[in-house]
Amino acid sequence: MSSDIHSSAPRTPAPPQTPAPPQASRLDTTEHAAATPDTELPWAELGLKEDEYARVREILGRRPTGAELAMYSVMWSEHCSYKSSKAHLRQFGEKAPHSDALLVGIGENAGVVDIGQGYAVTFKVESHNHPSYVEPYQGAATGVGGIVRDIIAMGARPVAVVDPLRFGAPEHPDTRRVVSGVVAGIGGYGNCLGLPNIGGEVVFDSCYQGNPLVNAGAIGVMRHEDIHLAKAAGTGNKVILYGARTGGDGIGGASILASETFEDSSGKPAKRPAVQVGDPFQEKLLIECTLEAFAERLVVGIQDLGAAGLSCATSELASNGSGGMRVELDDVPLRDSTLSPEEILMSESQERMCAVVEPSKVERFLAICEKWDVTATVVGEVTDGDRLEIYWHGEKIVDVDPRTVAHEGPVYQRPYARPSWQDALQADDAGKLPRPVDGKELREQVLRLVASPNQADKSWITSQYDHLVQGNTVLAQREDAGMIRVDEETNLGVALATDGNGRYAKLDPYTGAQLALSEAYRNVAATGAEPLAITDCLNFGSPEDPDVMWQFVEAIRGLADGCRQLGTPVTGGNVSLYNQTGETAVHPTPVVGVLGVIDDVTRRTPIAFAQEGQLLYLLGDTREELGGSAWSQVVHDHLGGMPPAVDLERERLLGEILVSASRDGMIDAAHDLSDGGLVQAVVESCLKGGKGARLVVPDGIDPFVLLFSESQGRAVVAVPRSEEVRFNDMCGARGLPVTRIGVVDGEEVELQGQFSIPLSELRTAHRETIPALFG
C-alpha cells in the first residue's frame, strides 16, 4: 500500500541554495568578514528581509560571515522567531489564570503540569504542515519524532502521542496521496517507537487541499524532581552532541520550508524541498539513552535539535545559560564529509540532541551513549564570556551574542483589519437553509450526516496506529479523549483531547478559538478527568495578509480570554503561519489540546451505550444554532452565519457535573455534543456499545433542531435507573438544565414519531465511507 505515497507528481528540485562562502577559495572567517565589508551575501535567498539583514550588520558591527548569516537567517525565520506572532502570544502569559498545577510554563521545550502523587506531565502539540505536503510519509513521521524529542528534553518519558490532521477534499485525487502517506508515516514512526497513539482528529475540507495540517502531540511523564530545563551554565562544562550524524538533509528547512510558500508564483525556480528522513529506531535509543543520563544526574542542560538544528541548539542553550559557548564544528560527526560549515549549522538531520555536562561526568555520559549505540561527541564547552564562538579548521567563523540570535530577533506589529467579507459571511445565516420537512427526510439526512467523511468512523486511519502498546492505554480513538494510566499501583491517569473547528473559526475567529477550547475541555471532562492545562497549535495563513492577521489576533485573544475564565493556563504550543496556496489561506485553525487528570482510571467514563434500560439524559440547553454546523456542510455545502455561542461558565459547570457523576458512579456513559450535534453523538455511542436507543422529542423543541443543532455546553449521558434520582438531584442543585430524552434499548436508533434506523444500516453508513475513499 505504500506505493501510493510514491505516485506523487514529480517535483524538480532547484539546485541547493545554501550560502556559499563569498570566495570559494577562502574561508569566510570573522576576521575576513571584518576586512571585506562590501562582499555581497545571499541574505534574500535565505529568507531575510533587507531591514533584517541591516539589523544583523548593526548587531555585529560588520557584515556577517556566511556561517553567521546561516544562523541568523534560520533563527530569525517566522518558524523559529515567532516574529509575527510574538507580540500577540504575550497574552497567554499576561492573561494566564493562577494555577498551582503549572510547574513550568511557556518558553521551555514543553510546559510541565503537576498531576499529584509526585508526578508531573509534560505535553505539547506542534505542526509539521509544509513538510508533510512535500513528502507526506517522512513529513508526518519526522513530525512525531520532533515532538517526542521535545518531551524527552524536559526529562520526561514519552507515554503517548496524538495527531490532529486536516486534509483537502476527500474526493480530490491528491488527497489520497497525502492521507495515505501521512497516516503511514505517523503509524510507521510511532509504532516503531512503541508509543500508543491515543487520539487526535481527522478533518477534510477543500481549504486544506494544497496545505494539509499535520499536527503532532505527545505526552510525557516524570517525577517532579526530574524536570530539566534547556540551559548551558557553568564555565568549563562540555557541550555534547549525540544521536544521529549530521547530514545534508533539511538544510534551510526552517527558514525556507516553514516560512514561505515553496512554489513561487512569479515563475522563479522553486526553493529546494529539504526533506528530512526519520529513523525511529535511532530515536528510541535516544530516548533510553537520554533518560538514563538524566537518572544518573549527568546533565546540566539539554536541548533537542529540531528546526534550525545546531544553530538553534547552541544559541538557545548559550543564551539561556549564564556564560558563552565555544564550539568546534570540525568535531561534529558527519554523514556527508563534503558539508560546508554553513550547511552543518543549518542541517535539520533528525534524531539529534545536545547536552551540557560537567567535565567530571563526561566519561560516564559517553559510556551510556556507547551502551545504547548512540554516537556522542564533545563539540564544545561553556565559556565565561557572553559570546557564542564557532570554529572551523581552527579559525573563528561565528562570533555573536547568542541572545541576539535566539531571543532578540525581529518582532513585527503586522497590520491587521477585519476582512471586508466577514460581515457578509456572518449575515449568510445557516438558519434560512431548507430543512427536512418530515421524518422520512430527517432519516435520510441523519444517514447522510453520519456517512459524511468528516463525521464517518475513522477506524481505517486510527487502526494503522498502535494504540495499546505499553499496556497503559485506558481510552483511545473514538472515545471523547485519550486516557493513559500513569501509576499502575494507584491508577492515577491523564486524559488528553485535541479539538479545533476551522469552519467555526472562519465565521468568527475569537469565538472559534474559544469553541476549540470548550470542546477539548468538554471532551476531557466527559471521560471523568478534571481539565488542568492546555497546549495549542495555531494554524493560519500568511501574516502579511491583514485579513489573516486579524483572524490570528482574534483567535489568540479568544483563547487567552477563554483560558483565564476556565482556569486552564496555556503551557506552551506552536504557531504555524503561511498555510496557504497562492492567495488563498486555509480556514483559521486553532487546535487546542486540553490535558486532564483522573485520580482513578478505573472510573473513567466511556462513550458506549452498553446497558439496555439505562436512561439517556441531555445535559445543557439546546438552541437553534446551525452556523458552521456539520449539517449545513453535509446537506447544503454551506458555510455562513454565526458559530454557536460560547458559555465558558456553563462548560465549567458541565465539566464539574460530568466529573462528579463519574466519581460517584452515577453515569455509565457520556459523550460530548459537538459537530454533528445530538444525533451524531447518539449514533456513535450506540454503535460503540452495540445497543440501540429510543428517543423522544422533549416539549417545546423542534426535532430537527434537537438532532442537528450544535449548541455548546452539552453532553448526553447514560444513567442507570438506580441512580436517576440522585443524578437529577445533583444537576438540579447545581443548576444544570437536564432533559430526559430516551432510553438505551433495542437494535435501532428511533426518534419517536419521526423515524427509526436499524443499527446495521447506521453501522454500514458510518463505517464504509473512509475505507471506500482511501482503502
Among 191, 209, 349, 739, binds other proteins (CB under 8 A): 349
Q: Which is nearer to other proteins, 335 or 734 (CB)?
A: 335
Q: Which is nearer to other proteins, 114 or 351 (CB)?
A: 351
Q: How far is the CB of 214 from other proteins (least distance, A)?
A: 16
Decide: is 138 part of the binding site for other proteins (CB under 8 A): yes
* Site map (CB under 8 A) of other proteins, residues 550-579, x = contact: ------------------------------
* Site map (CB under 8 A) of other proteins, residues 261-290, x = contact: ------------x-xxxxx-xx--------
Please name the residues in contact with 509: beta carbons below 8 A apart, sequence gap of 6 or more. Answer: 550, 551, 552, 554, 555, 558, 588, 590
Is 266 within any annotated ligand binding site?
Answer: no
CA 378 to chain centre: 33
Indicate the DSSP class of residue 259. T
Among 135, 342, 499, 684, binds other proteins (CB under 8 A): 135
Is 276 within any annotated ligand binding site?
Answer: yes
- The alpha helices in 82-213, defined as continuous H runs, are 86-94, 129-134, 136-153, 173-193
Please name the residues in contact with 353: beta carbons below 8 A apart, sequence gap of 6 or more. Answer: 149, 152, 153, 241, 242, 243, 286, 290, 302, 303, 304, 305
Number of residues that make up the chain? 775
Q: How many residues sit close enough to other proteins to count as binding (CB under 8 A)? A: 31
Among 31, 260, 336, 428, binds other proteins (CB under 8 A): 336
User: Which residue is catalytic, options 6, 32, 98, 128?
Assistant: 128
**Alpha carbons 29 and 81: distance in angstroms, whole number:** 26
Catalytic residue at 79? yes
Is 576 within any annotated ligand binding site?
Answer: yes
Is 98 within any annotated ligand binding site?
Answer: no
Decide: is 134 part of the binding site for other proteins (CB under 8 A): yes
Decide: is 342 part of the binding site for other proteins (CB under 8 A): no
Q: Which stretch binds other proteins (CB under 8 A): 131-139, 193-201, 214-222, 704-712?
A: 131-139
Q: How far is the CB of 210 from other proteins (least distance, A)?
A: 16
Is 750 within any annotated ligand binding site?
Answer: no
Decide: is 10 part of the binding site for other proteins (CB under 8 A): yes
14, 268 Cβ separation under 8 angstroms: no
**Alpha carbons 154 and 220: distance in angstroms, whole number:** 9
DSSP labels, 260-300:
S-SS-TTSPPPPPP------HHHHHHHHHHHHHHHHTT--S
Instruction: Give the residue from 630, 765, 621, 639 showing the smallest Cα distance to 706.
Output: 621
Q: Which is nearer to other proteins, 279 or 381 (CB)?
A: 279
Instruction: Give the residue from 58, 123, 105 showing the smallest Cα distance to 486.
Output: 123
98, 588 Cβ separation under 8 angstroms: no
CB-CB neighbours of 331 under 10 Å: 13
Indicate the DSSP class of residue 207. G
Indicate the DSSP class of residue 308. B
* Site map (CB under 8 A) of other proteins, residues 216-255, x = contact: ----------------------------x--xxx-x----
Instruction: Give the residue from 387, 365, 376 showing the smallest Cα distance to 321.
Output: 387
Amino acid of residue 606: P
**Alpha carbons 508 and 524: distance in angstroms, whole number:** 24
Q: What are the backbone dihedrals phi and psi of residue 462, each rounded to the nearest 5 degrees, phi first?
A: -70, -20
Q: Which is nearer to other proteins, 280 or 301 (CB)?
A: 280
Q: Which is nearer to other proteins, 276 or 404 (CB)?
A: 276
Is 348 within any annotated ligand binding site?
Answer: yes
Is 401 within any annotated ligand binding site?
Answer: no
Among 335, 364, 721, 734, binds other proteins (CB under 8 A): 335
Q: How far is the CB of 5 from other proteins (least distance, A)?
A: 7
Is 573 within any annotated ligand binding site?
Answer: yes
Q: Which is nearer to other proteins, 3 or 266 (CB)?
A: 3
**Alpha carbons 71 and 47: distance in angstroms, whole number:** 12
Catalytic residue at 128? yes
Decide: is 6 part of the binding site for other proteins (CB under 8 A): yes
Q: How far is the CB of 245 from other proteins (least distance, A)?
A: 9
**Alpha carbons 504 and 589: distance in angstroms, whole number:** 9
User: Which residue is catalytic, options 79, 467, 638, 671?
Assistant: 79
**Alpha carbons 202 and 218: distance in angstroms, whole number:** 17
Is 172 within any annotated ligand binding site?
Answer: no
**Alpha carbons 628 and 431: distance in angstroms, whole number:** 11
76, 562 Cβ separation under 8 angstroms: no
Is 574 within any annotated ligand binding site?
Answer: yes
Is 350 within any annotated ligand binding site?
Answer: yes
Q: How far is the CB of 69 from other proteins (least distance, A)?
A: 21
Q: Which is nearer to other proteins, 135 or 499 (CB)?
A: 135
- Report the binding-site residues for substrate: 127-130, 149, 276, 348-350, 576
- Report the binding-site residues for Mg(2+): 126, 150, 304, 574
- Positions marked catalytic: 79, 128
Write out the residues near other proteins by the rule CB under 8 A.
Answer: 3, 5-13, 134-135, 138, 244, 247-249, 251, 273, 275-279, 281-282, 335-336, 349-350, 373
- Report the binding-site residues: 82, 124, 126-130, 149-150, 276, 304, 348-350, 536, 573-574, 576
- Report the binding-site residues for ATP: 82, 124, 536, 573
